[in-house]
Amino acid sequence: MRPAYEFLNSAPAASRHNDRATNGSAPAQTPPRAPAAFGGRWWRSLPLPGSWRARTRDWVRGSPTGLVALALAVGGGAGLGAVAFRYLILVFTHAFSGYADYSAHGRAGYGYGHLGFWFVVAAPVVGGLLYGPLIHLFAREARGHGVPEVMLAVAERGGRIRPQVSVVKALASALCIGSGGSVGREGPIVQIGSALGSTLGQLLRVPESRLRVLVACGAAGGISATFNAPIAGVFFALELILRDFEAESFGVVVLSSFAADIVGRAAFGDHPFLHLPTFQLVSPLEYLLYAGLGVAAAVVGVAFVRVLYGGEDLADRLWRGPEWLRPAVGGILLGLLLLALPELYGVGYPPLEKAIHGGWAVWFLVALLAGKILATTLTISIGGSGGVFAPSLFMGAMLGSAYGHGVHHLFPHSTAAAGAYGLVGMGAVFAGAARAPITAVIIVFELTGEYRIILPLMFAIVLAAGVSRQLSRDTIYTLKLRRRGIDLMRGRGANLMALLTVRDAMQPVPVSVDQGTPLNEVIERLMRGPADGLPVVDADGAYRGTVTSQQVEQAMRENALDADAGGLAQETTALRPSQTLEQGLSALMRERSGLPVLEPETRRVVGWLTHMDVLRAYNQRLEAGIRDAERRRAPQQPRHEIGLVGSALARLRGYRVVELELGETAGPVGSRLAELGLPEGSSVLGLRRNGDAIAPTGTTELAGGDRLTLLVPAAHADRLVDTLEGGAGSG
């Protein structure tokens, strides 16, 4: 059967415009419309018959081969973007420092131009003057390390990323790294590739499910091409961006990574990204030593996360000038640090390789480890643009090499050279910070081409990820989002489902049936009632199970016509009125029919919950919050209604649901809700304390650990979170 839009596209003009014809005259002619520049019906401009256009459109949007073609196109585009981005970094680094990679020259590299060694202070300032306004004016999401923005686009925005992000991110990050910013290039290239995939998908108007996959394809392609690491690119995209390993997603992401790697190898050659010596395990004793390194790497990874976001908070509190000027002013501090440790200039792969080759003393390795944490924090905090993957590898190499020197001094005949520990430390610190062990193992292997160290590498990385999970709830990528009310570890953090209870949503009990009710009467009850299931009770009224239409159909298929309700009933998950809707929905996901709500003591059925009941309760609570917010809003503020006035989803545009989890020493602790100074038009949706929902009033005093859910005008949401955070959101 042909889809409706194909009939419309292929229908004659007269049949489409009969409503415009009057008194039998010729139908009014609609002037030709130019194809929309973005997301419009640009298919009509193709020189193809209408049926061909429709078939091509359906093929691209719906068929598996169409998705394969899109994945290959995104991979090729991401590969070209990675090549262009690396050359941009090379050009800007040479323009600012006079070298292709200034960190490779270190202290011997002073004396560029008439500034002498002071150029290293001036370079971050000049770079900040260039990329600061660029980010501020054209794409503010290009600020920072990029991967959280891509994760947010996939999780919350259906994979939609603005097209200009790829261009702005490439220029801003290349300027930042070239002028001395101590960040990596994996975050930018992930954002660049993802934006390319999203743009292509939006142009072709593919469904959101495919758009998300195309974003992951772009991320995988970027990693694959820039590091010559096709397998690591695949697992980076699946483990961190998509967060699933479904067969269809896996296949097309692999193809995209393959296409991008071909482009990358053609441009950069077919060899491992890093050139490191060969290592191998010397004795079984080393497994215990690598375990110690894994624990130390977890501590360093978590410390890096906390210092990074603590630095951002401090910079936000101290800075009072225009945002576009912040990178230039902060660049003075970064330049002074680079003056002391020029090895931290830019990405820093040459110093990393030198550390693993055993070129530095232990004290200097420790200094570079601490310096890299500070330099990366400074770069991101002042508004720089760049990734945190390369810095975590740098820190791991310094930590591991210093650790290796120590254990080799203690056990010279039972341990490998210090560089082996530096190699393992690279993956372990990244795993401690990002908690992506699969990606960490594979990417270190592909970057180095060293397989003989794989067992201790896996052991240390798994330990680092496990210890990191015990030390911190969040990763370096998810913490940025959770501080904005979005918890990717458990879905949307600002979750009204956790504030509403089953009692709020349950409906009256369908007419229950006695366990002795015959099959024909059960069928009659199911036909009359709106529910797909009926509770079965015994003579005392206690719940004994649920009989559904599926069980009835099975009994009829087996000719069990003498069955009764008790024999057909199956025990299903029973809910309690006090449970949250979040728990209720989780139980409903495992059942096709509704679920009974029981009083715990008597096991009597007091209510019935279906999927529609959950949605209805959620919608009612959200609409109540919106109505309350609109009553509070100042008259001069514009209304945020789009489409149907009665639609909660339409009116939600212009608002954001934000959750704050208050730490014990958070700023709002001890204050009343009325004293928070919420923006005009805000509403308190709920308050949860010690697992219990509390009805919020203006006099409610906040305590440490409170989970506060707010409906806030979107324009003020980020600033409100920054103001109230003061320890909130840290979990």
Strands 595-598 and 605-609: antiparallel
Q: How far apart are the first and last CA of the chain?
A: 53
Distance of CA 652 to the CA centre of its chain: 22
Give the least confident one: 84-93, 543-552, 614-623, 718-727. Answer: 718-727
User: Are 304 and 395 contacting, i.e. CB atoms less than 8 angstroms apart?
Assistant: yes
For the segment 626-654, the average pLDDT, to the nearest whole number, is 46
Residue type, 417: A
State yes or no: pLDDT of 10 exceeds 60: no
Question: Helix H segments across 63-118?
Answer: 64-97
What is the reported pLDDT for 483? 72
Confidence band, pLDDT 50/70/90 cuts, at residue 7? very low
Cα–Cα distance measured from residue 30 to residue 462, given in angstroms and rounded to the nearest whole number: 64
Helix axes 389-410, 418-434, angle to 10 degrees: 140
159-178 per-position pLDDT tens digit: 888 888 888 888 999 999 99
Nearest to 546 by CA among 581, 574, 585, 516: 574
Please state whether beta strands 692-694 and 683-689 pair in parallel, antiparallel, or not at all (unpaired). Answer: antiparallel
Which pLDDT does position 560 carry in this prediction?
64
Arithmetic mean of pLDDT over the chain: 77
Q: In the chain, what percentage of residues exceed pLDDT 70?
A: 75
Alpha-carbon radius of gyration of the chain = 30
Residue 272, pLDDT > 80, answer no
Candidate from 326-335, 366-375, 566-575, 635-644 with smallest mean pLDDT: 635-644
Q: What backbone phi and psi angles, to 5 degrees, belong to 15? A: -70, -25
Lowest pLDDT segment from 314-328, 559-573, 602-616: 559-573
Residue 665: pLDDT band with limits 50, 70, 90: low
Long-range interactions of 153-156: CB distance < 8 A, separation 24+: 153/194, 153/198, 153/215, 154/212, 154/215, 154/216, 154/241, 154/242, 155/243, 155/486, 155/488, 156/486, 156/492
Q: What is the pLDDT of residue 650?
A: 41
pLDDT exceeds 60 at position 41: no
| Residue 546 β-bridge partners | 535, 570
Contact 333, 378 (CB under 8 A): yes
CA distance 202 to 191: 16
Q: Which of 477, 431, 465, 367 is nearest to 146 (CA)?
A: 477
Mean pLDDT value of segment 196-209: 85
**pLDDT at 4 (0 to 100):** 36
Determine whether 170 is exposed, middle or buried from the number of CB atoms within 10 Å of its CB (0-12, 13-18, 19+).
buried
Closest CA relative to residue 615, chosen from 465, 507, 488: 507
Q: With DSSP H G I counted as helix, E B as strand and the rest as coil, what are the percentages for the chain, rounded to 5?
A: 60, 10, 30
CA distances from 262 to 82, 227, 632 (A): 12, 12, 58
CB atoms closer than 10 angstroms to residue 717:
20
Read off the amino acid at residue 420: A
Quote the CA–CA distance of 241 and 449 in Å, as a whole number.
Answer: 25
DSSP state of 242: I
| Cα within 13 Å of Cα(318), Cβ side | 11
What span, in angstroms and rounded, lies between the C-alpha atoms of 678 and 195?
A: 34
Q: Which residues are 166's β-sheet partners? A: none
- pLDDT tens digits, residue range 372-418? 999 999 999 998 988 898 999 999 999 999 999 999 888 888 888 88
Mean predicted confidence (pLDDT) in 262-273: 84
Q: Is the model's pLDDT at 651 over the cut of 80? A: no
47: pLDDT strictly greater than 60: no
The confidence score (pLDDT) of residue 8 equals 33
E-strand stretches of 570-681: 595-598, 605-609, 655-661
pTM for the whole structure: 0.67
Single-letter residue type at 221: G
Amino acid 573: pLDDT: 73
From the list 688, 693, 683, the residue with the least C-alpha distance to 703 is 688
pLDDT at 721 over 70: no
Displacement of CA 522 from its chain's centroid (Å): 48
CA 165 – CA 169 distance, rounded (Å): 6
**Model pLDDT, residue 645:** 28
CA 656, CA 673: separation in Å to the nearest integer?
19
Comparison of pLDDT for 660 and 84, the residue scoring more: 84
pLDDT confidence band for 106 (50 / 70 / 90) = low
User: Band of the pLDDT at 247, cuts 50, 70, 90?
Assistant: low
CA distance 215 to 165: 13
**pLDDT reported for residue 57:** 66
* DSSP designation for 475: -
Instruction: Report how far residue 42's alpha carbon sits from residue 357's, in angstroms, rounded to the nearest whole number.
Output: 56
Q: Tell which residue, 203, 218, 233, 201, has the closest CA to residue 78.
A: 218
Tokens of 573: 């998950």
pLDDT confidence of 496, banded at 50, 70, 90?
Answer: low
Mean pLDDT, to the nearest integer, of 672-687?
Answer: 76
* 147: pLDDT strictly greater than 70: yes
CA atoms 179, 182, 185, 191: torsion sign: negative
What is the per-residue pLDDT for 65?
84
pLDDT digits over 317-371, tens only? 888 888 889 999 999 999 999 888 888 998 888 888 888 888 788 999 999 999 9
In which residue are the tokens 């397989």 written? 451
For residue 191, give the amino acid letter.
Answer: Q
285 pLDDT more than 70 = yes
Distance CA 687, CA 705 (A): 11
Best mean pLDDT range from 12-26, 80-94, 659-673: 80-94
